[in-house]
């Protein structure tokens, strides 16, 4: 591929299934304009072309959506009266509809994000459907306990798990449909109602999903979508009648959400950024470690909260590991994200691309060496070469700050003690990886690493059954698995005097 124009493997793209139409707000089961008629554009990052216009929800629209969600949650509403088996059926039907419309959803996801259609169709969409299937199974298994109490003579005590109420959910642009599924599936499984705010860059799949909720038999008002930017999200957080906010995004926005939510004591769960260490020991299968390290940092153009962006490599395995990592990074070719062969797509926006490129400059000024990449590709869209920085030390900004793009910072280490100390020397604690054949070393490190997820001899994989979330500035609350049932229910203790 030439350096002056973006990818030429476009030739044989089939006509798209997706025909994006202007996006409206989804409130109480209907698509409506914003009250003041405001709209914004959503773009295809690979060409910067406008895809369509989207309604921008103002404070009054947010209020309308919250009122709809409140009414749908009221005592005796169809949703509250629906039994657990029927709620299971709704979630399974939703998953089935997502799979039936997978091609269209994948195209919409790629159009909005610029990620390869290969990823949208093989990962994003099927995994989102699977998340609904997983939580469909939970609906009939959300139970309280009977608990022996020792005070008060003869007593019978038990707990109930109840839905929290109206949940405001704010999601980012890097995995729009998957982040929707991680939040919406458990919230609905627990019997809550939802007002979802997708990221302003990527509203299309959430709006298509909204149509599917009606087809799946989910009553109007149970699931609502308000599109818009930070101000729309802030209005949702400020709203007095929202019971819980779940957020995935930047640390800065997470902090402002927590401050705003404190006024009404909303329940809050936050999944924020990361600067995840990937520890490569010389006794590991270095070839495999390098191959996976590549996916760990360059999958989804590096726009991943769990990106293995700090690669720590033990001195004695350094050259072997780096030769595989570098040569493979050089072979990664960007292309039109809609082409099935493309494995490296476009970054989300020009602003973000410039931020990422700026970090390469910062790294150079700090003394890092650009081994490969470091540049934009072409002038159309926001493509960037997979970038490897060597000679990085852990105190450099490129090792401490989240870049959220295809930039790996490589740091050498002498022994496990040094690796652990430096790995934990970070404001973040979302994930970490360890590559070694020594099981004692691996498990000892897994205990000592301050991260919500530790992978041993693998990287960047999640499962609906396994809790996911962060230590330190990476946030709090665990999504997925049974943990998400805790996030979306209140526990009530009931005490009966039998004397
Ligand atoms: P952001 O945190 O500002 O946006 C995420 C979501 O929050 C979007 O839906 C946005 O509209 C909403 N939002 C923004 N301001 C808000 C406010 N005051 N109240 C309520 N909602 C608000 O992230 P942004 O600006 O898109 O990206 C900036 C950086 O954040 C990235 O470069 C990356 O480092 C990090 N990030 C991390 C993500 C993760 O998965 N942990 C996802 C997206 C971004
Ligand atoms: Mg922002």
In order, the DSSP letters of 408-440 are EEEEEESSHHHHHHHHH-SSEESEEEEE-S-HH
Question: Is residue 388 classed as helix, strand or coil in its secondary structure?
Answer: strand
199 CA: nearest ligand 1 atom = 9
Is the CB of residue 272 below 6 angstroms from any atom belonging to ligand 1?
yes
Whether the predicted pLDDT of 8 surpasses 50: no
Average pLDDT of span 72-86: 98
User: Helix or strand or coil: residue 173?
Assistant: coil
Residue 239 CB–ligand 1 contact under 6 Å: no
Is the distance from the beta carbon of residue 105 to the nearest atom of ligand 1 less than 6 Å? Answer: no
| 316 class by beta-carbon count within 10 Å (0-12 exposed, 13-18 middle, 19+ buried) | exposed
Q: Identify the nearest ligand to the CA of 201 by its number.
A: 1
For residue 316, the model assigns a pLDDT of 98
- Residue 5 scores a pLDDT above 70: no
Q: Provide mean pLDDT across the span 385-392.
A: 98
Does the structure show a pLDDT above 60 at 477?
yes
Give the model's confidence band at 13: pLDDT under 50 very low, under 70 low, under 90 confident, else very high.
low
pLDDT tens, 401-430?
999 999 999 999 999 999 999 999 999 999
Instruction: List pLDDT tens digits, range 362-377.
Output: 999 999 999 999 999 9
Confirm or reject: Cβ of 477 under 6 Å from ligand 1.
Answer: no
Identify the pLDDT of residue 12: 53
Is the CB of residue 407 less than 8 Å from the CB of residue 303?
A: no
CB-ligand 1 contact for 256 (6 Å cutoff): yes
Catalytic residue among 109, 305, 390, 402: 305
What separation in Å is there between the alpha carbon of 252 and the centre of ligand 2?
A: 8
88-108 pLDDT, tens digit per residue, is 999 999 999 999 999 999 999
Which listed ligand is nearest to 256 at the C-alpha? 1
Cα(230) to centroid(ligand 2), Å: 7
Q: Whose CA is nearest to atom 13 of ligand 1?
A: 230
Catalytic site residue 200?
no
Q: What stretches of 190-314 show up as alpha helix (H) in DSSP?
A: 204-215, 230-238, 251-262, 286-298
Among the listed residues 18, 473, 494, 499, the one whose alpha carbon sits nearest the alpha carbon of residue 249: 473
CA dist 239 and 423 (Å) reads: 39
Number of the ligand closest to the Cα of 175:
1
Q: Is the CB of 253 under 6 A from ligand 1?
A: yes
The number of the ligand 1 atom at minimal distance from the alpha carbon of 348 is 26
Q: What percent of the chain has pLDDT over 70?
A: 97
- Ligand 1 contact via 55 beta carbon (within 6 Å): no
Residue 197 CA: nearest ligand 1 atom is: 9
**271: annotated active-site residue:** yes
Region 466-474: mean pLDDT is 98
pLDDT at 15: 80
- C-alpha torsion 217→221→226→230, nearest 10: -120
Residue 152: pLDDT band by 50, 70, 90 thresholds? confident
Count Cα neighbours of 180 within 13 Å in the Cβ-side half-sphere. 31
| Distance between CA atoms of residues 283 and 343, nearest Å | 30
Ligand 1 atom closest to the CA of 404, numbered from 1: 34
Q: Which residue has the higher pLDDT, 94 or 152?
A: 94
- Reported as half-sphere exposure (CB side, CA atoms, 13 A), residue 253 has a value of 22
Report the alpha-carbon distance of residue 228 to residue 221 in Å, rounded: 19
Query: Would the pLDDT of 4 be above 50?
Result: no
Binning pLDDT at 50, 70 and 90, where does residue 358 land?
Answer: very high
For 113, left (φ over 0), alpha (ψ -120 to 50), or beta? alpha
Q: Answer yes or no: is pLDDT of 255 > 70.
A: yes
pLDDT of amino acid 6: 46
Give yes or no for residue 199 CB within 6 A of ligand 1: yes
pLDDT tens, residue by residue, 190-208: 999 999 999 999 999 999 9
């Amino acid at each position: 591929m030439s350096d002056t124009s973006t990818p030429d493997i476009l030739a044989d793209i089939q006509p798209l299934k997706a025909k994006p139409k202007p996006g409206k707000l989804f409130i109480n089961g209907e698509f409506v304009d914003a009250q003041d008629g405001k709209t914004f554009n959503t773009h295809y990052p690979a060409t910067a072309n406008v895809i369509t216009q989207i309604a921008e929800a103002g404070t009054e629209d947010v209020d309308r959506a919250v009122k709809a969600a409140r009414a749908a949650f009221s005592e005796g509403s169809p949703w509250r009266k629906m039994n657990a088996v029927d709620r299971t059926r709704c979630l399974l039907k939703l998953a089935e509809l997502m799979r039936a419309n997978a091609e269209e959803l994948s195209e919409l996801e790629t159009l909005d994000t610029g990620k390869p259609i290969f990823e949208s169709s093989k990962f994003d969409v099927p995994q989102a459907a699977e998340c609904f299937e997983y939580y469909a199974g939970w609906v009939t298994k959300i139970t309280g306990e009977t608990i022996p109490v020792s005070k008060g003579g003869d007593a019978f005590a038990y707990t109930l798990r109840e839905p929290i109420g109206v949940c405001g959910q704010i999601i980012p642009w890097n995995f729009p449909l998957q982040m929707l599924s991680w939040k919406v599936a458990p919230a609905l499984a627990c019997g809550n109602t939802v007002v979802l705010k997708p990221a302003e860059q990527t509203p299309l799949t959430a709006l298509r999903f909204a149509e599917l909720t009606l087809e799946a038999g989910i009553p109007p008002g149970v699931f609502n979508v308000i599109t818009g930017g930070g101000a729309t999200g802030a209005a949702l957080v400020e709203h007095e009648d929202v019971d819980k906010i779940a957020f995935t995004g930047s640390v800065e926005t997470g902090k402002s959400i927590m401050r705003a939510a404190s006024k009404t004591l909303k329940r809050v769960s936050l999944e924020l950024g990361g600067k995840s260490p990937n520890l490569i020991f010389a006794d590991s299968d270095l070839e495999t470690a390098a191959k996976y390290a590549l996916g760990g940092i360059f999958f989804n153009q590096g726009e991943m909260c769990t990106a293995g962006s700090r690669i720590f490599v033990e001195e004695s395995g350094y050259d072997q590991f780096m030769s595989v990592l570098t040569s493979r990074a050089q072979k990664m070719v960007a292309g039109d994200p809609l082409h099935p062969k493309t494995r490296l797509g476009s970054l989300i926006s020009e602003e973000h691309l410039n931020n990422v490129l700026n970090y390469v400059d910062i790294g150079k000024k700090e003394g890092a060496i650009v081994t490969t990449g470091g540049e934009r590709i072409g002038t159309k869209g926001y493509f960037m070469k997979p970038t490897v920085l060597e000679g990085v030390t852990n105190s450099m900004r490129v090792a401490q700050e989240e870049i959220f793009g295809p930039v790996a910072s490589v740091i050498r280490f002498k022994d496990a003690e040094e690796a652990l100390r430096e790995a934990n020397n970070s404001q973040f604690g979302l994930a970490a990886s360890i590559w070694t054949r020594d099981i004692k070393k691996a498990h000892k490190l897994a205990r000592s690493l301050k991260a919500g997820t530790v992978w041993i001899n693998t990287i960047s994989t999640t499962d609906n059954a396994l809790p996911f979330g962060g230590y330190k500035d990476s946030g709090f609350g665990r999504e997925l698995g049974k943990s998400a049932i805790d996030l979306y229910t209140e526990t009530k203790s009931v005490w009966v005097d039998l004397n």
